[in-house]
Each structure stands twice: as structure tokens, then as C-alpha cells.
């Protein structure tokens, strides 16, 4: 059974810093891995989706990488801003009728 872990649970950084959020998964036979952002009291917004055949995906200041062999994905945020403060969740999908398996998230605070 797929399990997804995100460490740390919370992270606080000063504005302008580059940072990395970590996600690990137990079953490397994933079809894709997805990163979401959740603002307090809101739903999830999809940030990046990496197919199993890809190594990374980029969107603006965000870069997500995937290493299936080690069971890890990272989300790199460049030049962090206070508006980046949110909870970031990763989710792994193993295809077929299996559901997306979510991690518990990392709560990021960017301090001005």
C-alpha cells in the first residue's frame, strides 16, 4: 500500500530565501506525482504534475523533481515571498482504480 510522507510538518523562512520541500513515497511504481497548494480555509490548487517518465517540471518560481528509484520528490521554491505562505501537499498515484494518496503536508510561512 502506497504511503506518502512529508517532512518537515512546518517550515518558516525569511523572504527571499530559496527553499526545498520534501516528499517521500513507499511504492516506486507510481504513474505520477502531484504537488498542491492549500490556503487556510480553502480548497487545493494544483501546482505541478510530474509523470513517472519525467524527472522534473517547472512553473515560474516552482520546480518539482521526481526520483522514483529513491522514492522521493522535492518542490523547490525560488526567491520565496510572503504570498507563498500556505500548506503544500504532495500526492502519489499508482494508476488503475487506485486513489491519489496524499501526504499530510508541509505548512510554509515566509516572513517579510
Partner 1 sequence: NAGVTQTPKFRILKIGQSMTLQCAQDMNHNYMYWYRQDPGMGLKLIYYSVGAGITDKGEVPNGYNVSRSTTEDFPLRLELAAPSQTSVYFCASNLRGLATDTQYFGPGTRLTVL
**In the complex, which residues of this chain contact partner 1 (CB under 8 A)?**
4, 9, 31-32, 34, 41-46, 49, 89, 91, 93, 95, 97-105
Measured from the CB of residue 112, what is the shortest distance to partner 1 in angstroms? Answer: 26
User: SS3 for the chain, per residue?
Assistant: CCCEECCCCEEEEECCCCEEEEEEECCCCCCEEEEEEECCCCCEEEEEEEECCCCEEEECCEEEEEECCCCEEEEEECCCCHHHCEEEEEEEECCCCCCCEECCCEEEEEEC
- Based on CB atoms, which residue is closest to partner 1, 54 or 95? 95
Measured from the CB of residue 14, what is the shortest distance to partner 1 in angstroms? Answer: 25
- Based on CB atoms, which residue is closest to partner 1, 8 or 16? 8
- Based on CB atoms, which residue is closest to partner 1, 55 or 104? 104
Measured from the CB of residue 13, what is the shortest distance to partner 1 in angstroms? Answer: 21
Amino acid at each position: 500500500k502506497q504511503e506518502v510522507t512529508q517532512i518537515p510538518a512546518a517550515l518558516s523562512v525569511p523572504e527571499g530565501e530559496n527553499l526545498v520541500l520534501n516528499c517521500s513515497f513507499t511504492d516506486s511504481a507510481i504513474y505520477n506525482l502531484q504537488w498542491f497548494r492549500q490556503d487556510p480555509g480553502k480548497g487545493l490548487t494544483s501546482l505541478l504534475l510530474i509523470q513517472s517518465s519525467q524527472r522534473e517540471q517547472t512553473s515560474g518560481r516552482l520546480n518539482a523533481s521526481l526520483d522514483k528509484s529513491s522514492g522521493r520528490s522535492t518542490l523547490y521554491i525560488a526567491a520565496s515571498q510572503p504570498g507563498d505562505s500556505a500548506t503544500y501537499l504532495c500526492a502519489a498515484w499508482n494508476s488503475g482504480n487506485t486513489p491519489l494518496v496524499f501526504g499530510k503536508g508541509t505548512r510554509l510561512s515566509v516572513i517579510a
